Copies of this chain bind each other. A is one copy, B any other.
Amino acid sequence: MTAAHVGERLLTPGEVAALFRVDPKTVTRWATAGRIGSIRTPGGHRRFRESEVKTLLAELTTEATKGDGPA
């Protein structure tokens, strides 16, 4: 299994946006920028992995002052 774990719970852009308190458009931009993985429906709409979203949320909570930021 390389691509997606079949059976992983997926979230809609609106749900992810609500979790991060941002506009759904912003979540779309994150996906386009490759900052978050996304699955597209045959119709072109995006779905996000709940596990990955939770990981990102946890990183926000961490907000380490270390130099882990982008180069």
User: Which residues of A (9-33) have their CB < 8 Å from a CB of B?
Assistant: 9-12, 19-22, 26, 29-31
Q: Is the CB of B43 within 8 A of A57?
A: no
Interface positions of A from 33 to 60, Cβ below 8 Å from B: 34-43, 45, 47, 52, 54, 56-58, 60
Give how many A residues have a beta carbon under 8 Å from the other chain's beta carbons: 41
Given A11-B21, A21-B11, CB of A42 within 8 Å of CB of B30: yes
CB-CB nearest in chain B for A2: B58
> Residues of B contacting A43 with CB < 8 Å?
26, 29-30, 35
**6 closest Cβ pairs, A-B complex:** A37-B64, A10-B21, A3-B58, A35-B42, A4-B61, A40-B60
